[in-house]
Homo-oligomer: A and B are copies of this chain.
Amino acid sequence: MEIPPPLVLKRPLFVPIKTLMGPGPSNCSQRVLSALSNPVIGHLHSECLQIMNEIKEGIKYIFQTSNDATMCISGSGHSGLEAALCNLIEEGDVVLVACIGLWGHRAADIAKRYGGDVRLVETTLGHSLTINEIELAFKYNQPKIFFTVQGDSSTGVLQSNLKDIGKICRRYNCLFIVDTIASLGGTDFFMDEWFVDVAFTGSQKTLGAPPGLTPISLNMRAIDCINARKTKVKVYYFDILLIGQYWNCFNMPTIYHHTISATLLYGLREALAQVCAEGLKAFIQRHQQCSYRLQQGLKDLGLEMFVKNANERLPTITTIKVPFGIDWRKVIEYAMRKYSMEISGGLGPTVGNVFRIGLMGENATLERADLILNIFREAIESSKLDNNEKSKI
């Protein structure tokens, strides 16, 4: 053996305990963590398929849908985004993408890779798109597919008019994809009632499961579109018709599509069970109450919200303008070093401009909201002191 075993793997695994109040992942509950150490079982064993069925029912509940084609992509949230796009897009299709932060641009990048003729509908950073702006873009572009996030984690903006967008999509005979990764559980989402054709979400945000499985649901309009494709879906791994057969979505014999991670199924199953036990309505209210408490506290600290209008603010992830003269990196480092507390900086277009605080899942409690306010205040004060020290020199 020419390549020797690495010395680093002689050391024990080191995992710190942190409070994750960035944009996700959030902390898992003890119930979820305990479930993860259950023994692995086979990806086609009846008990595994049973857990997948249970997860499917849980996803239908959180999306408020009765879609049969409800399953998980075996990958992170990005894989859900890519699966949604690559199954629907064929070369030359007009794809209209709403941009209220980084994620629209990411979706546009991906859609182009699949030959989509991508058009953007954008607005000023920190605002959501009005229904007029969107309808104008529909008139002009006549898209086959419309994509939007419900909430953009980079800006903290909530796109709250999905119900009206759904109606426009039907009028224009357009498929409606909604990315609810950052929003689900923090705000209402009614997939069927709002005419959403494809929705996906993250496991590691409000749900509090580990990353690695991405719930996705498609209605019959979307499935019909996939069935009518002239070309095979590019990506075998994201091929919804095959994954759906594995997840028993189409009343056909179960096939082996890939080896799903039983470990991650256990975690997601328990996370969904916890949401069910609490009830979706109470779950959402809890997130909203915490967000309100946080926003009030931030106001009391004299800090300015990045999203001006309160009704355009994502309840799960709050964006705060970096005050003039403050080094955002120092604030974040202070909270992490002293309290093992994650506060996040901006992402994409907001890097350097905002702090991002997430109150999701286990961390969506009033106590945690107060805790982060105290730590955040202290971290900012400490960074100001640093500045004063420097100015003396």
Chain A interfacial positions (CB closer than 8 Å to B):
1-6, 8-10, 13-18, 20, 22, 24-25, 27-28, 33-43, 45, 47, 50-51, 53-54, 57-58, 60-61, 64-66, 74-79, 82, 86, 106, 109-110, 112-114, 190, 192-193, 202, 204, 210-212, 232-238, 256-264, 266-267, 269-270, 272-273, 275-277, 279-281, 342, 347
A260 vs B17: C-alpha distance when bound (angstroms): 18
Asked whether, in the complex, the Cβ of B3 is within 8 Å of the Cβ of A276, the reply is no
- In the bound complex, residues from chain B placing their C-beta under 8 Å from that of A256 are 347
A6 vs B376: C-alpha distance when bound (angstroms): 39
Partner pick for A261 among B39, B45, B211, CB 8 A cutoff: B211
Partner pick for A58 among B9, B79, B261, CB 8 A cutoff: B9
Q: Which 9 A-B pairs have the closest CB atoms?
A: A212-B261, A6-B57, A5-B276, A210-B263, A37-B37, A15-B38, A78-B258, A9-B273, A76-B258
- In the bound complex, residues from chain B placing their C-beta under 8 Å from that of A50 are 14
- In the bound complex, residues from chain B placing their C-beta under 8 Å from that of A190 are 2
10 pairs, A vs B, C-beta closer than 8 Å: A3-B66, A14-B47, A15-B41, A15-B47, A18-B45, A28-B40, A37-B37, A76-B261, A77-B258, A114-B234
A22 vs B5: C-alpha distance when bound (angstroms): 29
Asked whether, in the complex, the Cβ of A234 is within 8 Å of the Cβ of B237, the reply is no
Asked whether, in the complex, the Cβ of B13 is within 8 Å of the Cβ of A273, the reply is yes
Partner pick for A259 among B78, B280, B347, CB 8 A cutoff: B78
